[in-house]
Amino acid sequence: MSNPIELDARGLLCPLPVLKVRKRLKSVPSGTELHLLADDPAAIVDVPHYCAESGHALLRQSDEGDAQLYVIRKS
């Protein structure tokens, strides 16, 4: 398995973090992991909702200092 993709969306507000995730996942093969860092309070709702709607797996969600880390696996 390849290394995870790191996507830093700190400082971006809704809907930009999810739009950046969607754009990045379009260009990678299924099974790829993406690690998203976001500090937008709406991302706590938006990222899990996006994953559920698009069929991607949200493997983990945790606090990382001043941001949230979302680990997503492309379906």
Catalytic residue annotation: 14
Task: Report whether 40 contacts 8 (CB < 8 A).
Answer: no
Helix axis angle, 16-26 to 43-54, nearest 10° = 30
Compute the distance between CA of residue 3 and CA of residue 17 in angstroms, rounded to an integer: 21
